Amino acid sequence: MRLLVTRPQPDADETARELRALGHTVIVEPMTVVEFLPAPDVRFRPAALLFTSRNGVRATAGWPIAAEWRDVPAFTVGERTAETAREAGFRDVRAGGGDVAALAAEVAAALDPDAGRLLYVAGRDRAGDLEEMLAASGFDIVTIEAYAASAVGVLSDGTRIALERGEVDGALFLSRRASGIFARLVSDAGLDAQARRLACFVISASAAEPLRHFGKVLVAERPDAAGVVALIGR
């Protein structure tokens, strides 16, 4: 298949390599550009760190204070984020079930609310309300926005031309934000008719919603990158 990968970098290249190894042709077209924000002034030692993305881990790993937290329990939204945390030197890493609700349940099952303040390292734009879920269980949670993912303004010329010529069979979407941006850019480019021929491989029902007027939309059984790639196979 000829596939479009919409993840931000560097994760887009990783997914592209996996798809090419399966024999697919890949165009990398990130819908967002990630910028890491300045290191915060954190004046407490967290009882646990919470990560809902690999970029949260990458941002934290660059903070000078984080060198003192490598033994702090790190709860992640899924196994890929957990792998990134381990690579960054965090020694007690616990992977959740793939979404924010599963992560909140994992934290609530593993920790006593009286153990101390939790630190959630988040993006400026995020889905789900991890803070509210854990606060309802009695946890004291501090959220730090460590990175921002800015939406791209237009499709690249290469992608626009490939869509116009019918040279794209499908597209991968790992967030509702990415699918929403793509739907808008396709409409802005006057490519709605071409989009209706695409097969869309998405991480969740929420991410599928902005694509409802496209062609076939398939939702992963597991809400992670591996689950989306598994929809495609060989």
pLDDT-derived band at 223 (thresholds 50, 70, 90) equals confident
Query: In angstroms, rounded to a whole number, what is the distance separating the alpha carbons of residues 92 and 72?
Result: 7
Low-confidence winner among 78-82, 97-101, 206-210 (lowest mean pLDDT): 97-101
Whole-number mean pLDDT of the chain? 94
- Regarding whether 96 and 23 lie in a shared domain, the answer is no
- Regarding whether 38 and 145 lie in a shared domain, the answer is yes
Residue (of 176, 171, 174) closest to 223 by Cα position: 174
pLDDT digits (tens, 9 = 90+) for 143-178: 999 999 999 999 999 999 999 999 999 999 999 999
DSSP state of 39: P
- Regarding whether 97 and 43 lie in a shared domain, the answer is yes
Chosen domain end from 149, 165, 182 = 149
CATH number at residue 16: 3.40.50.10090
> What pLDDT sits at residue 94?
96
> 3-state class of 53 per DSSP?
coil
Chosen domain end from 149, 183, 209 = 149
Reply yes or no on whether the pLDDT at 224 is more than 90. no
Q: What percent of the chain has pLDDT over 70?
A: 99
Residue (of 139, 49, 44) closest to 91 by Cα position: 49
- Regarding whether 118 and 202 lie in a shared domain, the answer is no
pLDDT digits (tens, 9 = 90+) for 33-77: 999 999 999 999 999 999 999 999 999 999 999 999 999 999 999
- Regarding whether 181 and 142 lie in a shared domain, the answer is no
- Regarding whether 74 and 111 lie in a shared domain, the answer is yes
- Regarding whether 162 and 139 lie in a shared domain, the answer is no
Burial class (CB in 10 A: 0-12, 13-18, 19+), 113: middle
Burial class (CB in 10 A: 0-12, 13-18, 19+), 44: exposed
Q: What range defines the domain where residue 67 resides? A: 34-149
pTM value?
A: 0.85
- Regarding whether 104 and 196 lie in a shared domain, the answer is no
Distances from the Cα of 98 to the Cαs of 4, 24, 48, 81, 179, in angstroms?
A: 23, 26, 18, 10, 18
CB environment 100-112: b (16+ within 10 A), e (fewer): beebbbbbbeebe
Chosen domain end from 106, 133, 149 = 149
- Regarding whether 145 and 73 lie in a shared domain, the answer is yes
- Residue 75, sorted as left (phi over 0), alpha (psi -120 to 50) or beta, turns out to be beta
Query: In angstroms, rounded to a whole number, what is the distance separating the alpha carbons of residues 107 and 76?
Result: 10
pLDDT-derived band at 141 (thresholds 50, 70, 90) equals very high
- Regarding whether 142 and 163 lie in a shared domain, the answer is no
Domain tally, the chain: 2
- Regarding whether 135 and 39 lie in a shared domain, the answer is yes
